[in-house]
Amino acid sequence: MNRYAAGLCGAVLALLAGGPARAQTSDDVVRIGVLTDLSGPYADSGGRGSVVAAEMAAGDFGGRARGKPVEIVSADHQNKPDVASSIARRWYDVEKVDAIVDLPVTAIALAVQAVSKEKNRTVMITAAATSDLTAKTCSAVSSHWTDDTHALTAGTARAVFERGGRSWYFITVDHAFGHALQKAATEVVEALGGRVVGTSRHPINTADYSSFLLQAQSSGADVVAFASVGDDFTKAIKQANEFGLTQGAQTLTGFLVYITDIKGLGLPVARGLTFSSAFYWDQSESARAFAKRFQEKTGAMPTKNQALIYAAVTHYLKAIDRAGTDEAVAVNRAMRAMPVAFFDRPASLRADGRLLYDPVLYRVKDPSASKGPWDLYEAVRTIPQGEAFLPMNPACAERNG
């Protein structure tokens, strides 16, 4: 009887031990989905390059996490929140995707963040910039890697103000994202004792910026700030150059700027433009090494979104090893507990999922100072993370504790 009981107990213990081991990595595959813009206005800053960055991270990690193979899948969300939500649900429910990364456009990121919370899956947002992703809709399974609207504006506005930019004129795209950029920058400028002397607002995809630029030029403002992104931003800068603003005494400042924007504009047009960024390919030895390999695969230097995808996926895989599972809450807890390998710069994930680091204010080089086709930026000032990022919402600390 004792031998039977001992044998039964041993069998039960073996089953208990084996159960969690089998559940440690769901489906025996770690599957990461890159949900990006493959064919629209953000295809250059994300797109195929985002997929390549995720594949590079998985490959550099050895292609396995906790001994299980890592698989990268991708899809085009077509810049539509309903399409993105549908893909996320299918990935989670049918294709057993464990984590989603990238997500340009605020509405898309918020939609997929909500689905990920509902399905208890990891989401790493490296493109959409709204600070609401941690300030309001924080989640125990979500992390926000890119410089958010507060960092893009508050840190940049302070740095530009301290370099003499006391009066500002805004040329702002007339939707929620543009309004948020202008509002955050205005609050900083006015708190420092500066003033906004004028604002022009334009619809998305405006073709003619001449009247806005002439008003900005005649305002005498120290700074002309473009609160827009993508085609709206680059078209406005091209026309600003035609009206002589880039060669004048006024400082031109952008907020959400990608290296592909500057490359497309060219140094003669973009020279002198200032903005902050989480990443530049020439910022450190490890950044240069990554960028060189990325360029060999894609023909271009990585944007900050693509570099952040590499960092985020690498960190996620490390966290799976540390947690011993790909279960989302456990992995995200491990992600928050470990320092982030951020191209030789100190970085960490806060309890609410906000990546903390020191952004850098850059200025586009004069053509005579450039030593190569991608030698586009010069560093002006490092922005301390305390200036760049909002304090953590106490409710988010409790929610993620």
Q: What is the pLDDT of residues 165-182, one digit of tens each?
A: 999 999 999 988 889 899
Whether 233 shows a pLDDT value over 60: the answer reads: yes
* High-pLDDT (> 70) share of the chain, %: 93
Distances (CA, A) of 37 to 229, 233, 304: 15, 18, 15
Q: Which residues contact 69 (CB under 8 A, 6 or more apart)?
A: 28, 29, 30, 63
CB 67 within 8 A of CB 325: no
30-147+283-357 maps to which CATH number? 3.40.50.2300
3-state secondary structure of 250: coil
Strands 64-65 and 377-382: unpaired
Give 188-224 as a DSSP string.
HHHHTT-EEEEEEEE-TT-S--HHHHHHHHHHT-SEE
Distance CA 219, CA 214 (A): 8
**pTM for this model (two decimals):** 0.90
150-277+359-387 maps to which CATH number? 3.40.50.2300
* pLDDT tens digits for range 113-161: 999 999 999 999 999 999 999 999 999 999 999 999 999 988 789 889 9
pLDDT at 398: 64
Tell me the pLDDT band of 20, cut-offs 50, 70 and 90. very low
Query: In which residue ranges of the chain is CATH 3.40.50.2300 found?
Result: 30-147+283-357, 150-277+359-387
* pLDDT tens digits for range 303-323: 999 999 999 999 999 999 999
Q: What is the mean pLDDT of residues 205-229?
A: 95
Strands 68-76 and 30-36: parallel
